[in-house]
Amino acid sequence: MVSLKSIARTRHFTIPKEATVEDAIEQMHQNRGGCVVLLDKKGMPAGIITESAVIGLLGSHRPLDGPAFDICVPKVITANENRPIDFAFDFLAENRIRRIVLTDNRQRFAGVVIQEDLFDYLEEDVYRIDLKISDVMMPGQRLVTVDEEASAEEALNLMQRHGIGSVLVGRAPYAVGIVTEKDIIELAFSHIDLQQKVSRHMSSPLATVGREEPVTSTIDRMRKGGFRRIVIVDSQKRCIGMLTDRDILRQIRGNYTRMLQNKIRHSQEIMDLLPEAIVEIFESGGHQIVHWMNRRATEIFGDRFIDRELKEMFDAKDWEAIGTSLADSSAVEGHKAHIGDMVFEISGTVSEAGNNRYIKLIFKDVTSHETVKENLRTRIDEEIGKRMAQEFMLMQQSKLATMGEMISHIAHQWRQPLAQLGGIFMNIDAAATFGELNADDLKEKTHQGNMLIKYMSQTIDDFRHFFEPARSQEHFDIHLYIQNAIHIIQAALTYHRITVDFRKYHTPIQILGYPSEFSQVVLNLLANAKDVLVERQTPRPHITIEARIVKPENGAPMARLRVEDNGGGIDDGYLEKIFDPYFTTKRERKGTGLGLYMSRLIIESKMGGTIYAENGPEGAIFTVEIPHQ
């Protein structure tokens, strides 16, 4: 919708409040709009001077260097610049003015709209009306005429006496020209003596129109000629009336209303054919009243909401969201709301016409769609529940398998101290048998036995703390927890004569995650490497562990852990399957196939990293990458 701001005139329409009448006349000469607005120091309209006010001053022969404020109308009728153009029709007619002074939201001057400006911005079908001049001319209109030999001042006095803006020049009922207020002000601006003959300064030839001519052609002539009035003549060229742009706009105002009504009726007929429910709301005094629904809306809601407040259609929460969106942005889009047992996606806009606001809302029925979504959401929740239950079962199985491995590691850790304890008891027994046991020897052997028992107890604590799960993520140095994993499996590696080379390239390397679970992943990788080396009886078996920070070209730094053995590598047919649950190559040893699956779950799902396997020159290489903090 086109606003008044878009057609406003701004240049040469203002003078300071302290300016003179001569300043006002100069601006009127420049703007050709028949008025000038006085502004205070804040840029707000403080008064308006029209051509008739200047004519009155000239008629009184007062000097032009006096204050312009003395002849202004101090009460300026203004309108906000964002008003729509159709607002201008009622505004001009109700206030009986031919121009609108516009202000912005801070009440500062924003321009002037002259009534003839409206012609260029009206839709053509507004004024393409099947009327003749005789249909719109004012009945009983009296024309004022001045003789060609009369002075310009006599014409001025006639305008002032009769309160009119122009006089015809000639002998009534005939005329050869016309003099307007604008012509008189041009004389004053040029300092031309008003005692000169009016015929020297009249507009001639006279613009005339016949009674039977169509109004449309008259409008076109006035627009092209740039004049505000045209003289009506009969068949003998006698002047019988005058038609002004105000008369035409008065007629257009009524026709514009009829045209809008026809358009509304036509648009409603179209909206009745649409599959969506459409509701129109009239806003007045802060209340939004439902005044029309299309056929689809009536089928859904019946007529129970007609002439009721819009908010009665919605729950309080939905109405608050819709009302806030309409107030803030004059639109709402895609808001879902429940009305009864149905779900609608609501979109709409707010428009203005004059002082009124209209809201048009489209109700798209998405009940079936939402039902499908709800069913799908339920199925997804069920599947997630099943998946979580399955993963819980896998976790339990993995824990059981890990417990078995831990018992094996504990056995390796305890084998040597148990043997040493046995030796101590044998020494004590032998010494006692041969009478060689004394108090100092017994004390020494007891101390050695206690130290071994303390070591075994510490081993149990180390294993227990190793598997304590973290309740939340924390920052930790991966070196420490790699070393913890090596310590747990060290006895088993030593037993099988497997060497471990732990290479640290950066110290420390901090990551965010679950440290005990990270150690469990490292332990799984070391245990797998050990099993392969033992099973294949690899000569000089060894495992290399590398920890470093890497910086990809496009991305954040990553902490990278590589575990490499010299056991000959992984069969190419197994590389894509080794992280699958229950997949194992340890048939004879009855492996569970859960270690690598759980490792991948921990690294990718819980720590946001990646884990993958590949074959190197001597054996398998497992790589873990986790964001570096």
Instruction: State how far the alpha carbon of 554 is from the alpha carbons of 125, 515, 557, in Å.
Output: 62, 27, 10
Q: CATH homologous superfamily of domain 126-253?
A: CBS-domain (3.10.580.10)
Give yes or no for residue 593 having a pLDDT over 70: no
Residue 259 has pLDDT above 60, yes or no: no
The residue to which tokens 């429940």 are assigned: 338
| pLDDT recorded at residue 626 | 94
- The answer to whether the pTM exceeds 0.95 is no
pLDDT band at residue 141 under the 50/70/90 scheme: confident
Is residue 254's pLDDT more than 70? no
pLDDT at 108 over 90: yes
| Residue ranges in 496-625 assigned as alpha helix (H) | 515-535, 595-600
Tell me the mean pLDDT in the region 337-366.
81
- Which structure tokens are listed for 33? 């709009």
469 falls in which pLDDT band (50, 70, 90)? low
Average pLDDT over residues 58-79: 90
**Per-residue pLDDT at 96 exceeds 60:** yes
Residue 420: half-sphere exposure toward Cβ, Cα within 13 Å: 16
CATH homologous superfamily for the domain 468-627: Histidine kinase-like ATPase, C-terminal domain (3.30.565.10)
Confidence of residue 272 (pLDDT cuts 50, 70, 90): confident
Name which of 350-359, 459-468, 613-622 the model is least confident about. 459-468
Cα gap 182→59, rounded to integer Å: 14
Q: Dihedral of CA 568/572/576/578: which sign?
A: negative
Q: What is the pLDDT of residue 20?
A: 94
* Residues 307/279, Cβ–Cβ less than 8 Å: no
Say what the pLDDT of residue 494 is.
Answer: 84
| Per-residue pLDDT at 56 exceeds 70 | yes
Long-range contacts formed by 535-540: CB under 8 A, 24+ apart: 535/586, 535/589, 536/567, 536/568, 538/565, 538/566, 538/567, 538/568, 540/566
Q: Output the pLDDT for position 46.
A: 94
What's the topology of domain 272-365?
Beta-Lactamase (3.30.450)
Q: What is the pLDDT of residue 449?
A: 78
pLDDT recorded at residue 385: 74
* The predicted structure's pLDDT at residue 288: 81
Which of 535, 539, 464 lies closest to 499 in space, CA to CA?
A: 539
Residue 247 has pLDDT above 60, yes or no: yes
For the chain, what is the mean pLDDT? 82
pLDDT single digits (tens) 513-548: 888 888 888 988 998 899 899 999 999 999 999 999
Confidence of residue 281 (pLDDT cuts 50, 70, 90): confident
Architecture of domain 4-117: Roll (3.10)
